[in-house]
Copies of this chain bind each other. A is one copy, B any other.
Amino acid sequence: MKEFHSRRRVEFADTDMAGIVHFARFFVFMETAEHELLRALGAEVHFEHEGRTVGWPRVEASCRYLSPARLGDVLDVAVRVLKRGRRSMTYGFTIRCAGRRVAEGRTSTVCCVLDQPTGLEPIPIPASLAEKLGEYLATPAESAADRTPESAKL
């Protein structure tokens, strides 16, 4: 399974009074890694499609925390595509620090037109982007074996 890797160093503002990275920040780390993958594939995060602004709101996000990360730690965020739907994507993430597993996460996003006054309108993923994302797509067996926290009741 092909993975995309993104690196970042833990900043002071990422920490909380327990002396470790605040748990909500890991969702930002995952999102940014996903966006770097899109950028590496030549896609914008928000883009114009037939004159409308398209983006990727999340419909689900989860994270399991395995060991704490601290100020100055260099984190490796690995991204893989667990599922590519017609209008949605599911990504799996593994965050490591010097080989140690720090967190595992999963997000599901939907390709949406954002400029609807009444809300967000899902649309099919443009074909050229869908094809590029396929490069990172896990096989069904790999996806089934993936250890990231899956939601049972969606």
Interface positions of A (Cβ within 8 A of B)? 11-13, 15-20, 22-25, 27-28, 31-32, 35, 39, 44-46, 55, 57-65, 67-68, 70-72, 114, 119-120, 147, 149-154
- A59 & B68 in contact (Cβ 8 Å cutoff): no
A25 contact set on B, CB distance < 8 A: 24
Separation of A23 and B13 alpha carbons in the complex (Å)? 9
If A59-B64, A62-B149, A68-B119 are given as contacts, then 8 extra A-B residue pairs at C-beta distance below 8 Å, sorted by A number, are: A13-B28, A13-B31, A15-B17, A20-B57, A57-B65, A59-B65, A67-B119, A149-B151
Separation of A20 and B27 alpha carbons in the complex (Å)? 16
Separation of A110 and B32 alpha carbons in the complex (Å)? 28
